[in-house]
Structures are given as structure tokens and as C-alpha cells.
Amino acid sequence: MVRYPISSMWVLGILSILLIVGGGLYGTRRIRYYKALMRDYLIEQKRYRIATELTNDVLFEYNMVNDVIEFSDKYEGLYGRKPKFEHYAKDKVALKHIYEEDRDQFIYFFQQLNKGEEFIEAEFRLLNANNEFEWCHAKGKTIFDHQGRPLRVIGKIVNIDTQKKTIDSLKNRADRDPLTNALNKSVTKDSINEVTIASRASKDKHALFVVDIDDFKSINDHYGHMQGDKVLSSVVSKINRIFRSTDIIGRIGGDEFVILMKHINTIEEIKKKAQILQDELNSNNSAETDHPQITASIGISIYPRDGGNYDELFVKADKALYDAKDNGKKNYMIYEP
């Protein structure tokens, strides 16, 4: 069954009335005119409906006065929910279907339309019929009454999940070191600076670790660059196991890595983590002569005590790193002001 949008029913109703009235007032010529107008309108509606059926686009119409939203037929099949909702804004019906991190964007989208913005767009993740979130692009245009008050929003939801994930994948590849999959130097710096800026108000503390593999050149010279690459990948794998997914891990040089350990409370936390990292990096050493013996030196600085951004923290951590190397390597040092 074809479901016409409410606005389409308005037009059909008006044309029907004109046909009835026209019969009495203007004769057969006027009736033929309105019949042709109705026929053309229905054909246009059918063409538009067929065009939307060839895609996964979902049309919607939101009645601001009655707080009712109605979606086109495809909505139920794609998203597993009835296509009509009453008290849509009042009861915040849609929020439970929106990915939590995207809810502010969705709320802003509807707020702007309700305020009378003529046209607005937004991207958010919407729960589908398979109980999975997928990226959508929504856009809507507001219809106003003769006094300029917003009455309805006519819009469309387009599935952009594949495109979005492709872009995110390409961006992720561009952001990362191709050998170890750690963040590259510029992204590491930018990411850490974002954290320090956000922490100015919250007063959170963080620790910056600079990790350098001891005598890495001799590993390349003795075992070859292919084995050296394996060592670098192994180091990042171990760092990933020790630190949290929310911490920042980057490769900033040939054999040098940076880690921002977020939200620390005490120096003891830092020392404990540094010792675990030290032990883990040294754990692959064996008596076998065909495997490189790996040790690492670590320098650590603390935000905000030792600096307010990446560059300031790195200078202090790098000084602590060289103190560790001067102290026999294979150990860690925390910067002392």
C-alpha cells in the first residue's frame, strides 16, 4: 500500500475540492484542467516514490504543532520500528535509538529546526533493525505558515555508514605509523595537546613517558633491519598490553616512543607502571644468540607540574631519559624539577 506524506494528502484534498467546486462553477473545461493537474501530481509522486525505493533513503515529515513524526515505508524494514511516532520531541522518543556520543548532535538538529532554521543537516549513528548502530546523514527543510511560524519539517535520512567507515579507515591509516600502528609523531603531539588543553579546567594530572630502545642501531647492524622492524612492532604490542586504550601511544622517531598515561593520582602509580613496562620490555631476552637482546630506557614528566603542553613535557621527559641512559640504561627516571 502506498502511504503518501501528510503534505501530499493536503494537496490531494485541495485538488479534490476544486474538482467538486469546479464542476458547478466553471464547467467541463475547468474539470479537465484540475483532473490533469491531479494526474500530473500523482505521477510525480509515484516517480519520486519509485526513486526513493531504489535507494535506502528514508523520507520523514515532522509536524511541529502536534509533535508527530512520520517516516516513509522503508523505515520499518531498515530500523525495525513503526514509522509513526507521537509526542516525538516531548517524550524524547528518538534518543534511545541514537548512539550515546551523537545524541547532542541529534538534539541540536531538532532544536534548530524548531527554532525556525530553514535548512539544517546533521550526522549521527542510528540503531538499525539488526540492533547495530550505523552512520546516517539527516537533512530537513522547514515549512512556515503565512505569518512565518514553523509548521512542519520535510526531510530525508541517508545511510552513509559505508562511506563514513571508509573515510575513518583512511584517516586512521594516515594518522598511524605503518610499521607499528602507533600514532605518528604529528598526531601524537596534537592528541596530547588536546588532552592538556581540556585538563586546564578539570585539573587532571597525566604522565608523559618517553621510551627509547637501548643501542637499537647495533640491533639493526647485527641482526638486520627486518629483525629490527620486528623489535619495534613487538615493543608497541607490549606497550598496548600494559597501558589503557584511552592512553595515547605514539612513535615519534626510529626507536623512540611516547605514551601519555592519563588521569594519574600519585607518583607511585607512575613508578609502578614504569616498572611493569621495564620488566615487560626486558622479558623477551634469552640466551639464544640469534635473537636480539632488548632493553629500554624511560624518561617521565608530569602534567601540569613539568609543563602545560606536549613540547614542554617532552623536554623534561627527554632530560629524564638521558639521565636514565647516563645511569647505566635499562631503567627509568622521573624528571625532578
Highest mean pLDDT among 109-118, 135-144, 146-155, 298-307: 298-307
Q: What is the pLDDT of residue 288?
A: 47
How many other C-beta atoms are found inside a 10 Å radius of the C-beta of residue 173? 10
Query: In this structure, are 197 and 279 located in the same domain?
Result: yes
Q: In what order do the strands lie in the sheet with 332-334?
A: 248-251, 256-261, 206-213, 296-303, 332-334
Q: What is the pLDDT of residue 48?
A: 56
135 or 15, higher pLDDT: 135
Regarding pTM above 0.75, the answer is no
Burial class for 201, CB neighbours closer than 10 Å (0-12, 13-18, 19+) = exposed
**Residue at a domain's end among 132, 155, 173:** 173
* Residue 336 pLDDT exceeds 90: yes
Query: In this structure, are 12 and 137 located in the same domain?
Result: no
330: CATH:
3.30.70.270
Query: In this structure, are 186 and 288 located in the same domain?
Result: yes
pLDDT-based confidence at 123, cuts 50/70/90?
very high
- Domain range for 235 is 176-334
The residue-averaged pLDDT of 41-52 equals: 60
Number of domains in the chain: 3
Query: In this structure, are 154 and 201 located in the same domain?
Result: no
Query: In this structure, are 212 and 285 located in the same domain?
Result: yes
For 72-105, b where at least 16 C-beta lie within 10 A, e where not — what string? bbbbeebbebebebeebbeeeebeebbeeebbee
What confidence tens digit (pLDDT) does each residue in 229-283 have? 999 999 999 999 999 999 999 999 999 999 999 999 999 999 999 999 999 998 7
Q: What is the pLDDT of residue 147?
A: 84
The torsion of the CA quartet 240, 243, 244, 245, rounded to 10 degrees, works out to -30
Q: What is the pLDDT of residue 1?
A: 40
Q: What is the pLDDT of residue 108?
A: 86
Those residues with Cβ within 8 angstroms of residue 310's Cβ, 6 or more apart along the chain or in another chain: 188, 189, 192, 193, 196, 208
Q: Which helix (H) or strand (E) holds 132?
A: none
Query: In this structure, are 144 and 113 located in the same domain?
Result: yes
**Residue at a domain's end among 173, 208, 240:** 173
> Grid coordinates representing 202?
578539570
φ/ψ of residue 261, rounded to 5: -90, 110
> Grid coordinates representing 281?
620490555
Query: In this structure, are 166 and 78 located in the same domain?
Result: yes
**What is the C-alpha separation between 330 and 335, in angstroms, rounded?**
16
166: CATH:
3.30.450.20
Q: What one-character DSSP code corresponds to residue 327? A: T
Closest by CA to 184, choosing from 197, 195, 171, 196, is 171
Q: What is the pLDDT of residue 289?
A: 47
Query: In this structure, are 191 and 313 located in the same domain?
Result: yes
Report CA torsion sign: 202, 300, 239, 164. positive
**Residue at a domain's end among 173, 199, 233:** 173
The residue-averaged pLDDT of 223-233 equals: 92
Q: Which residue has the cell 608523559?
A: 208
Closest by CA to 258, choosing from 171, 190, 174, is 190
Contact 199, 303 (CB under 8 A): yes
Query: In this structure, are 103 and 246 located in the same domain?
Result: no
Query: In this structure, are 159 and 253 located in the same domain?
Result: no
Query: In this structure, are 129 and 237 located in the same domain?
Result: no
Dump strand ranges (E) for the chain.
58-63, 68-71, 84-86, 119-127, 133-144, 150-159, 206-213, 248-251, 256-261, 296-303, 332-334
Query: In this structure, are 136 and 219 located in the same domain?
Result: no
